[in-house]
Chains A and B, each alone.
Chain A
C-alpha cells in the first residue's frame, strides 16, 4: 500500500533536483551586474519611500484588496455559469440564482461605497 506512493516520492525528488540544478547552471552562465535600481523591490519605476518592515501601510489598501478578491471570486463563478447556461433544463433557474448571488454581492458593494471605502483619500 505504502509502495504505491513511490511515484509521488520520486516526483518530489526529481522536481527538487531539477529546481536546484536549473538555478545552479544558470548561476554559472548568467552575467552578473547588480545595481541599485535593479535591486529595488518594485519594478514600476517608483522610488521606494522607506523600508517596508518599519513603514506604515495604509489600511485602505486592505479594504481595496478585499473588495478586489470578492469580485475576482465572483468572476470565477460567472465563467462556469455562462458555460452551463446553454443547458435548457436548468437555464432559467441558474439565471435567477446567479442574479440573486450578484445582488447579494451588490448589497455589500453599495454598503462599502456608502461607507466611503471606494474614496481615494
Chain B
C-alpha cells in the first residue's frame, strides 16, 4: 500500500485546493473585516493555480492511470469536469464580492468553505472506488450545508439548510447501504472490479436490484431528481444567492460526473436494471420540475424547480448509456454552468429598497429603462428554455440526439414537450420585462465582480450556442470511461 511520487503528482490540483483552503483559514484570522475581499481574490488565484495544474497533468505520461491502489483515476473525463467546477467556483466567487457585503455575511470562511467543497467535487469526479467516491461526496456536501445556512438572521436560510442537512444525511446513509450491498455481492468496491464481477450473470440476484435502487436514490438526491427533490426549493430559496448558483452548477455537475462513472463503468453489466430506474426519475423530474415552476412567484424558487427539470434532461443522457450520451451530459453540465450562473448574476444585481429583489413581478418593465440588463436576462432565459442560437439549445440537442440514436424516440418526444412547458415560465419573465410598463424604480448592485461574471457567462452562453464544436469534441474525447 506504499504510494509513489506519481500518485502524489496526480492529485496536485486537489492538494492545491485543499491546501490553500487550510492556509486561507489561517490567513483569514489576520485580515480585518473590511478587507475580506482579498480572501476572495486569493481563493480565485488558488482555483486558477489548480486549473493550471490540471492542464499540465493533461500532458503527463501517467494520464489515464489509476493511483492510490485504484482509489483515484486521473483521466480526460475527470479533468473535463474539474474545469467545469473551476469555472462554477470562480464565477460564484465573482458574484459574491458585493453580495456578502450587502447582506453582512462578509466572512472569510465563506470562501474557504467553497474551496473545501470544490476539493470534494474534484475527488468525486476522479473517484474510481466507491469508498473514495463516498468520501468525496461528503467532503463536497458538508461545506455546502453550512453555506446554505450562511444568512444566520434569515429564517428561510436556516430552514433550508436544516432540511438540506437532514435529508442529505439520510440520502448518504441510503447510498452507503447500497454501496455495502454491492460490496457484499461483488467482493470489491473498486469500480472496474465491480464491473468484472457483475459480468458473471450469477451475481444478478434480487439483492443487486435493491442495491441499485439505493444507489440511484442516493445520487438522485444530489442532483435533485424527483422524488428526491424535496430539499431543493427551500435550500435554493434560503441560501445566499451566489451559493444558490454555486449549488445548482458545481455540486450538481459533480453528482452527474460520479453518476456517469458509477453506472457506466461499475454497473455497466446491469444496464438493463438501472436504465429503467434512472428513466423513471428523469421523466418524473422533467414533468414535476417544469409544471411546478409555472406557479412560482419567487424567481430563486422558480429556478430551483427549473433546475429539477434540467436534472431530468441530463438524466436522459445518463440513461442513453452510450459514449454519445456521456458526452452530451458533459456538454450539458458545462453549458448549464454558464447560463444558470448568468441568470443568478442578474438576480444578484436586482435589489429593491436595499433588499434582495427576488420576486418575479419586480422584473416588470425592466427593458424600458435598462436595455442592457434586460437583454442579458433574455439571453440567459432563452438559453435555459433551450431556444437557438443559445448554448442551452445545443445542450438539449445533443442529449436528444443521443436518445434518438439509441432508439428511445418516445422519451425524446416527451422531453421536447416538457421543454415547451418550460418555455412558458421562462418567456413569461421576458414578457414582463419587455411588454409591460415599469411599476417603480429599479435599483442595481453595481460591482466589478458581477460585471466580470456576467461578461464570462454571456460570452459562454452565446459562444457555445453558435460554435459548440470544440467543446463537444473535447467532451467526446473525454467520454471514454467504459
Which A residues are within 8 Å of any B CB, using their own CB? 90, 93, 104, 107, 110-111, 114-115
Q: Are B25 and A107 in contact (CB under 8 A)?
A: yes
Q: Are A107 and B2 in contact (CB under 8 A)?
A: no
Q: Are B2 and A93 in contact (CB under 8 A)?
A: yes
Q: Are B25 and A111 in contact (CB under 8 A)?
A: yes
Q: Are B29 and A107 in contact (CB under 8 A)?
A: no
Instruction: Using A90-B2, A93-B2 as known contacts, say yes or no to A104 and B29 having CB atoms under 8 A apart.
Output: no
Q: Are B29 and A114 in contact (CB under 8 A)?
A: yes
A sample of 14 inter-chain contacts (CB < 8 A) reads A90-B2, A93-B2, A104-B22, A107-B22, A107-B25, A107-B26, A110-B26, A110-B29, A111-B25, A111-B26, A111-B29, A114-B26, A114-B29, A115-B29
- Report chain A residues within 8 Å CB of B29: 110-111, 114-115
**When A and B form their complex, which 8 residue pairs have the shortest distance between CB atoms, in order from nearest?**
A114-B29, A107-B22, A111-B25, A110-B26, A107-B25, A107-B26, A93-B2, A111-B26
Provide the B1-29 mask, 1 if CB < 8 A to any CB of A, else 0: 01000000000000000000010011001
Minimum CB distance partner of B3 in chain A: A93
- Report chain B residues within 8 Å CB of A107: 22, 25-26
**CA–CA, A94 and B177, complex, Å:** 32
- Report chain B residues within 8 Å CB of A111: 25-26, 29
Interface of B is mostly: helix
Give the distance to chain A from B123, nearest Cβ to Cβ, in Å.
15
**CA–CA, A110 and B29, complex, Å:** 9
Give the distance to chain A from B110, nearest Cβ to Cβ, in Å.
14
- Report chain B residues within 8 Å CB of A114: 26, 29
Minimum CB distance partner of B29 in chain A: A114
**CA–CA, A90 and B2, complex, Å:** 8
Give the distance to chain B from A90, nearest Cβ to Cβ, in Å.
7
- Report chain A residues within 8 Å CB of B22: 104, 107
Give the distance to chain A from B198, nearest Cβ to Cβ, in Å.
25
Interface of A is mostly: helix
Give the distance to chain B from A59, nearest Cβ to Cβ, in Å.
14
Residues B22-59 near A (CB distance < 8 A): 22, 25-26, 29
Provide the B281-319 mask, 1 if CB < 8 A to any CB of A, else 0: 000000000000000000000000000000000000000
**CA–CA, A67 and B33, complex, Å:** 26
**CA–CA, A104 and B2, complex, Å:** 21
Minimum CB distance partner of A89 in chain B: B2
- Report chain B residues within 8 Å CB of A104: 22
Give the distance to chain B from A88, nearest Cβ to Cβ, in Å.
13
- Report chain A residues within 8 Å CB of B2: 90, 93
Provide the B356-397 mask, 1 if CB < 8 A to any CB of A, else 0: 000000000000000000000000000000000000000000
**CA–CA, A82 and B114, complex, Å:** 35
**CA–CA, A33 and B2, complex, Å:** 63
**CA–CA, A24 and B25, complex, Å:** 57
**CA–CA, A115 and B107, complex, Å:** 12
Give the distance to chain A from B279, nearest Cβ to Cβ, in Å.
37
- Report chain B residues within 8 Å CB of A110: 26, 29
Give the distance to chain B from A87, nearest Cβ to Cβ, in Å.
12
Minimum CB distance partner of B21 in chain A: A107
Known contacts A90-B2, A93-B2, A115-B29; 11 further A-B pairs (Cβ under 8 A): A104-B22, A107-B22, A107-B25, A107-B26, A110-B26, A110-B29, A111-B25, A111-B26, A111-B29, A114-B26, A114-B29
**CA–CA, A90 and B3, complex, Å:** 11
Minimum CB distance partner of A110 in chain B: B26
Minimum CB distance partner of B23 in chain A: A107
**CA–CA, A102 and B2, complex, Å:** 20
- Report chain B residues within 8 Å CB of A90: 2
**CA–CA, A90 and B22, complex, Å:** 27
Give the distance to chain B from A106, nearest Cβ to Cβ, in Å.
10
**CA–CA, A107 and B22, complex, Å:** 7
**CA–CA, A110 and B27, complex, Å:** 11
- Report chain A residues within 8 Å CB of B26: 107, 110-111, 114
- Report chain B residues within 8 Å CB of A115: 29
**CA–CA, A114 and B108, complex, Å:** 13
- Report chain B residues within 8 Å CB of A93: 2
Give the distance to chain B from A69, nearest Cβ to Cβ, in Å.
16
**CA–CA, A96 and B308, complex, Å:** 45
Give the distance to chain B from A62, nearest Cβ to Cβ, in Å.
16
**CA–CA, A114 and B112, complex, Å:** 16
Minimum CB distance partner of B18 in chain A: A104
Give the distance to chain A from B365, nearest Cβ to Cβ, in Å.
47
**CA–CA, A76 and B29, complex, Å:** 29
Give the distance to chain A from B381, nearest Cβ to Cβ, in Å.
42
**CA–CA, A114 and B2, complex, Å:** 37
Give the distance to chain A from B207, nearest Cβ to Cβ, in Å.
16
Give the distance to chain A from B30, nearest Cβ to Cβ, in Å.
9
- Report chain A residues within 8 Å CB of B25: 107, 111
**CA–CA, A107 and B27, complex, Å:** 11
**CA–CA, A90 and B25, complex, Å:** 32
Give the distance to chain B from A102, nearest Cβ to Cβ, in Å.
13
Give the distance to chain B from A53, nearest Cβ to Cβ, in Å.
23
**CA–CA, A99 and B22, complex, Å:** 15
